Amino acid sequence: MNAKFDMSGNAYRPTDVQEGQVLAYVQVLGEEGERLRDLAVTQESARVIGNSQWGETVLIKFRDEQDNVYCWFTGSGSGLQQGEKAVIDGTVKKHNEYQGAKETQLTRVKVKELAA
């Protein structure tokens, strides 16, 4: 089994995470349409998932200190690199579950500041 790590870089013990299981404490945040403010997050990934006549669609994933996952589909990118920390605002579009993991999908995300 590959090691799994929390946001602090601490490895979970095998009794904490078994292969194919999701962390039970990861949750979705906010109600649809609610503006979430001052989320301290780390950008986990950014990848182009499609092209259209209007340009590329980029899927950006963030994670906060409590391991909650946020996803954002955008045409412009975040201006952040993988592993960079920032404070963002975003409106909850919906709550997803991807490969058994809960995610909060955001729209109208604004990167307010880079975190130290």
Question: Which pLDDT does position 116 carry in this prediction?
Answer: 65
Q: Quote the CA–CA distance of 76 and 58 in Å, as a whole number.
A: 7
List the domain range (segments joined by +) for residue 6. Answer: 1-116
Number of domains in the chain: 1
pTM, to two decimals: 0.74
Q: What is the mean pLDDT of each run of 10 residues along the chain (116 residues)?
A: 44 43 65 95 94 90 94 91 95 90 94 83
Distances (CA, A) of 82 to 20, 54, 61, 63, 85: 24, 25, 9, 11, 9
DSSP 11-57: BPPTTT--TT---TT----S-TTPEEEEEEEEEEEEEEEEEETTEEE
Tell me the CATH number at 91: 2.40.50
